[in-house]
């Protein structure tokens, strides 16, 4: 048995209130994160799916709005939502009040994160996000083509995320200037 104080866990080095609880609790098969999001803030990552992990979000205060390929879903205080492996989602606090939620994922170490973007070489409908080796690459799980994302051509910001555009199709959005791109800017 291991007991911790959530407030005693050092927040992750991000701009949102986010505490990783798996290490302090010593979990080996489940990932547990605690989020405290102000109005307008989002969970880290854009629209994505874990091909090898199911994820459950439990809202303990406020409400979370999740964007999926089937539309938006709002989950209120005292409610939970499960995303099966392969289901695309992103979440945010679209309300005027703070949001507190737990994210629980199993297995703990998800290694196959997918983005709903087509491969520029073969047209496969998803790309795998590879974050190892000192940088991010996009890898096609079908043909193996590997591409390196580039910074935003409009402002140079390097935080680009996938979201649903106005016509409910995936677009790449710059977090610095809100520019939208049909395909991710890639290095040559």
pLDDT of residue 13: 78
**CA of 9: how far to CAs of 36, 64, 143, in Å?**
13, 23, 42
Each as own residue / partner, the long-range contacts of residues 161-168 (CB below 8 Å, 24 or more positions apart, any chain) are 161/45, 161/46, 161/47, 161/90, 162/46, 162/47, 162/48, 162/90, 162/115, 162/116, 162/117, 163/46, 163/47, 163/67, 163/90, 164/47, 164/67, 164/69, 168/69, 168/71
CA atoms of 111 and 57, how far apart (whole Å): 19
Whether the Cβ atoms of residue 3 and residue 73 lie closer than 8 Å to each other: no
Task: Give residue 166's pLDDT band: very low, low, confident or very high (50, 70, 90).
Answer: confident
Cα–Cα distance, 173 to 62 (Å, whole number): 26
Average pLDDT, the chain: 93
Tell me the whole-structure pTM to 2 decimals: 0.89
CATH of domain 6-106: 2.60.120.10
Q: What is the pLDDT of residues 116-129, one digit of tens each?
A: 999 999 999 999 99
**pLDDT the model gives residue 109:** 87
- At 22 the three-state DSSP class reads helix
pLDDT band at 174 (very low <50, low <70, confident <90, very high): very high
Of 11-15, 38-42, 75-79, 84-88, where does mean pLDDT reach its minimum? 11-15
Residue 38 predicted with pLDDT over 90: yes
Name the pLDDT band for 64 (thresholds 50, 70, 90): very high
Share of the chain above pLDDT 70, in %: 99
More confident of the two residues 135 and 88 = 88
* Tokens at 109, concatenated: 């170490």
Extents of the domains making up the chain: 6-106, 112-188
pLDDT of 188 over the 80 cut? no
């Amino acid at each position: 048995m291991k007991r911790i104080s959530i407030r005693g866990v050092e927040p992750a080095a991000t701009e949102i209130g986010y505490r990783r609880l798996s290490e302090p609790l010593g979990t080996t098969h489940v990932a547990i994160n605690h989020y405290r999001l102000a109005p307008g803030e989002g969970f880290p990552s854009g629209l994505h799916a874990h091909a090898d992990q199911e994820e459950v979000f439990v809202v303990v205060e406020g409400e979370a709005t999740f964007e999926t390929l089937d539309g938006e879903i709002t989950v209120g205080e005292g409610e939970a939502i499960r995303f099966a492996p392969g289901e695309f989602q992103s979440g945010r606090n679209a309300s005027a009040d703070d949001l507190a939620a737990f994210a629980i994922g199993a297995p703990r170490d998800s290694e196959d994160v997918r983005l709903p973007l087509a491969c520029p070489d073969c047209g496969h409908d998803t790309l795998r996000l590879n974050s190892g080796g000192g940088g991010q690459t996009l890898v096609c799980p079908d043909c193996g083509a590997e591409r390196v994302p580039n910074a935003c051509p409009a402002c140079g910001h390097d935080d680009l995320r996938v979201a649903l555009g106005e016509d409910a199709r995936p677009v790449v959005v710059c977090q610095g200037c809100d520019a939208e791109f049909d395909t991710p800017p890639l290095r040559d």
